[in-house]
Structure 1
Amino acid sequence: MAGTTQSGAIPLPFSEPPYLCGLPSPYYTPELRKWQQACRAFIGEHLMPYAWDWEKEETVPDHLFHTFAKHNMLIPVLPSPLPVQQLKAVGIHDLLGVVKVEDFTYMHNMIYNDEMSRTGLAGPGASLTTGMAFGVPCVIKFGEKQLQERFLPDAFWGRTRFCIAITEPDAGSDVANIKTTAERSKDGKKWIINGTKKWITNGIWSDYASMAVRTGGPGPSGLSMIVVPLKNHPGVSMRRLKVQGQISAGTTYIELDDVEVPIENLIGQEGQGMKYVMTNFNHERLTIAIGATRQARVALSAAFAYVLKREAFGKPLIEQPVVRHRLAKAGALLESQWAWVEQFVYQMCNMTKEQADVELGGLTAAAKAHAGMVFKECADCAMLLFGGNGYTRSGQGEIAERMWREVNGHRIPGGSEDVMLDLMIRQLAKNYQRKTKELERPSGSSKL
């Protein structure tokens, strides 16, 4: 029935993607809809009812991570296609009995990430999945066989936890200026690592980090990536950082003082770290775009529900033209952003990884940046429409206040907004110039 959700309830405007409001869509097959229902049921049981309490407590209990791992529900955050051979080798053949690992696509990934963000909070979900989403793929894509065999089985089953450690106090979006060093020991058997990493999500709970380090000279060609032990490892000290949003995600400051790491922990080839980091960023940015767009839904639909019942000047707020205008502006941006995300993911499913990296890299950055901008518009709308209630950290306006504090956790990580927008234009120009040059006639040739 058009206009109803899968449960039969009428959804609030802007609360669900159009395909979950009964509207037709070219993207969602019966198999994908079954996957969405399975994700919603699992996340609705284990995460949704408790997320806000855990965010206030600033941590998520260990048992939740193990529950997700036991049911293979950490795996859907990995980029598509999944590492089928490695997963089957450790006994992981399907996800929730619904999707075979070999059938998993970026559409499944998008649906999963959208459902994980229905709590309205990034922190609880990020505490579970950030390491698998962004730390483990480096080992899958670029690690030698011995490295994969040592680390992947335990990571897939949640027996160990990873994080991605790139950002430093003086190197955020400017990855090429990373200062943490990794030097070979005199006997050539170890890396000796010194430096600091900052704003590392999940670091405090992680056994290992896929870490960007400087093994060579200045600039991007001197960067490599290494699997670095963290928890209880000599020379490593970690402490939590207090941040504005995503508090339960465990943002961490890491100090490394003569940390010894086996030479075999190098990921891929020495000096290729910048390439590995940038390739990994595309998946991270798309994940952020999906999550931020869902959080924008949470904020805007809460505001819509509020103005339907809140009265001022003798009538419900929804009857005020200025209120409708503000909802309309934010809603148009929201639905346009979601349509872009769906289109983007469809393109990812129908292009090779090599094609997508070239054609969509800059657009991925832009989608991530724009998702943060849209989230800000929706959170601002909610804050203003809730009025004084939206300025209060409790009561009926708590959701608006909380959503507003979540915004910058999407606008800055994964590449800050202005850098992402600039990257989009630079890559679009580069691709245009390359394609134009390829169409030029060879010098001295009459061939068209």
Structure 2
Amino acid sequence: MSTPVKLPPVSDLLPYTEPDYYQGFYTTYFNETHFALRDEVREFVNEFIVPYVDEWDVAGEVDPNLYREFGRRGYLCALAGVREYPTEYTDIRIKSVPPEKFDPFHEIIIIDEVCRAGSGGVCWFLMGGYNISVPAIFKFGSPALKRRVLPDILAGKKRSCLAITEPDAGSDVANLTTTATLSEDGKHYLVTGTKKWITNGIFSDYFVTATRTGKKGMGGITMLFIERDSQTVDTRKIMTQGMRGSGTTLLNFDETKVPVADVIGEVNGGFKSIMANFNHERLGIIAQATRFSRVLLQASLEWALERETFGTKLINHAVIRSKFGVMAGRIEGVQAWFNDLVLQYKYMDDQEAMVRLGGPIAACKALVTQTMELCAREASQIYGGLSYTQGGKGGTVERLYREVRAFAIPGGSEEIMIDLGVRQTLKDLKKYEQSLKKQTKL
């Protein structure tokens, strides 16, 4: 068992606005390297993101230089969905974390600190398409493909995204209709079809794309690595309720030529590639929504300590304090569950994690998005009219209120996540019952 550590608190001590291990409590999940990375990334966020968040949200665009700086510092390498730092494909190093000490909790630290800025749009601009597309290249791409494309992707010189969702196929990925037809000479696939709500698609050089190469259903899907072609690949920005600047995209392929060598995984075996990254993707969403819930709590608590109504501070009203109690309880519960899931993810291999963690991670994802929605509502109530106005004191609450649905739907809608959590548990229960029967017979 890891020895518990307790480091001096570096954040303000407003209750529940930080995880307890940031406020001088013991932890077995984190060590000095995690806290050093936290300080490093926080400095980056405060310098390069926080001063511009409101400006970027209004413009619907984020400075593209931010992405390159993010890559230059090694943060993209940490978000690649591999449990070890990818030294084989890059010479870039994170300043505060030696590669041999890197683990999944370092990835969570980076996500958490970026989200501290209170903008889902900026968060997804930096990592939304990247950390759901790059893992497939690492795990299922050919050695030649990885050598060719990963160095520039990890450095932030090239961008990639995941193209699965279609206008009529969201969570039901087995019913995709974008086709990839093998050319007569057998050297290329010709891809035709439409993808929708593709995060970062408008910026991307590469598209990790789910295509139909075989029969209907999950058995006929092939993942292809598609390079942008101005003649046959068309990307158009979609205007969305929130996540402005993240580059939500309508993507069209018109007989786009893809070398057969750029198949990711096996032909007609693409469903495995899709499923393999769901745990990693959803853990990232949980990390984001947990921090955004804390941002909402902190913003509204600071306002309650400042605002006076009926001759006293808002915080002195019991009905307001009860809101903070409910928010804090939900956040701390999610945080504890989440940290344990990351620990399991750290030590389990991919196969065990897919079987045993899929259900709990899905259920936790549903719980945290409901928690964020609760916190957005209560923070808005506490701020009153200020939270209905873009910018100003209530601007962060207004922005995150608009962005709740982007966490409740993508990566698996709440309804599907809750059901998956139960179904997975029932499968494990049946296995347990079968093992008991075998033991009884013995």
Shared topology, TM-score over 0.5? yes
With the shorter chain as reference, the TM-score category is over 0.9
Q: Does 1:301 find its partner at 2:298?
A: yes
Residues in 2 aligned to 1:119 and 1:11: alpha-carbon distance in whole angstroms? 18
Cα displacement (A) at 1:83: 5.7
- Once the two structures are TM-superposed, the CA of residue 19 in structure 1 deviates from its matched residue by 1.1
Deviations 1:296-325 (CA, angstroms, capped at 9, x unpaired) = 111111111111121112211111111111
Counterpart of 1:47 in structure 2 is 49
- CA-to-aligned-CA distance 1:80-136 (integer Å, 9 cap, x gap): 31363523xx323x312x222232111111111111100111111211222331111
- 1:362 and 2:359 are equivalent in the alignment: yes
Within 1, Cα distance between the matches of 2:321 and 2:129?
41
Of the three residues 374, 377, 398, the one matched with 1:377 is 374
Equivalent-residue separation in structure 1 for 2:380 and 2:360 (angstroms)? 30
* Cα deviation, residue 190, structure 1: 0.8
- Between 274-283 and 387-396, the greater mean CA deviation after superposition: 387-396
| Contact 2:376/2:401 (8 A) holds in 1 | yes
Partner of 1:420: 417
2:94 aligned residue: 95
Tell me which residue corresponds to 1:407: 404
2:385 matched residue in structure 1: 388
Whether 1:131 and 2:129 are equivalent positions in the alignment is yes
Shift of 1:349: 1.9
TM-score normalised by structure 1 residue count: 0.94
CA contact (8 A) 1:134 1:163 kept: yes
d(CA) in 2 for partners of 1:236, 1:22: 52
What is the CA RMSD across the aligned residues, in angstroms? 1.8
* Partner-residue secondary structure (3-state), 1:238: strand
Candidates 264, 269, 284, aligned match of 2:281 = 284
CA contact (8 A) 1:4 1:10 kept: no
> Does structure 2 retain, via aligned residues, the 8 Å contact 1:190–1:261?
yes
From 25, 35, 42, the counterpart of 1:23 = 25
TM-superposition CA deviations, 1:31-90 (whole Å, max 9, x none): 222222222222222222222321221111121111112222211212231363523xx3
Q: How does 1:205-224 map to 2 (within 5 A)?
A: 205-224=203-222
Q: Distance in 1 between matches of 2:215 and 2:82?
A: 34
State how far apart, in whole Å, the 2-side matches of 1:434 and 1:270 are.
Answer: 32
- Residue 129 of structure 2 aligns with an amino acid whose one-letter code is G
AA at the equivalent of 1:42: F
Q: Write the distance in 2 (CA, Å) between the matches of 1:292 and 1:40.
A: 18
CA distance in 2, matches of 1:14, 1:439: 43
Q: What residue number does 1:120 align with?
A: 118
More deviation in 200-209 or 33-42?
A: 33-42
* Matched residue SS, 1:384: helix
Matched, 1:163 2:161: yes
The SS at the match of 1:255 is strand
How far apart are the structure 2 equivalents of 1:375 and 1:289? 10
Task: Report the CA distance between 1:237 and its aligned residue.
Answer: 0.9
Ranges in structure 1 where 5+ consecutive residues have no aligned partner:
none
| Structure 2: gaps of 5 or more residues | 1-5
State the percentage of identical aligned residues. 38
1:38 equivalent in structure 2 = 40
Q: Report the AA paired with residue 61 of structure 1.
A: D
Inter-CA distance 131–397: structure 2 relative to 1 (3 Å threshold) = closer
| 1:346 to partner: Cα distance | 1.6
In the alignment, structure 1 residue 313 sits paired with structure 2 residue 310: yes
Q: State how far apart, in whole Å, the 2-side matches of 1:126 and 1:151 are.
A: 21
Instruction: Tell me how far 1:394 sits from its aligned partner.
Output: 3.0
Partner of 1:243: 240
Q: How does 1:156-235 map to 2 (within 5 A)?
A: 156-230=154-228, 232-235=229-232
Kindly indicate whether the alpha-carbon contact (under 8 Å) linking 1:4 and 1:11 is maintained by their aligned counterparts in 2: no
Question: What amino acid does structure 2 have at the position aligned with 1:44?
Answer: N
Q: Distance in 1 between matches of 2:8 and 2:438?
A: 57
Which residue of structure 2 aligns with residue 271 of structure 1?
268
> What is the aligned residue count?
437
One-letter amino acid of the structure 1 residue matched with residue 340 of structure 2: Q
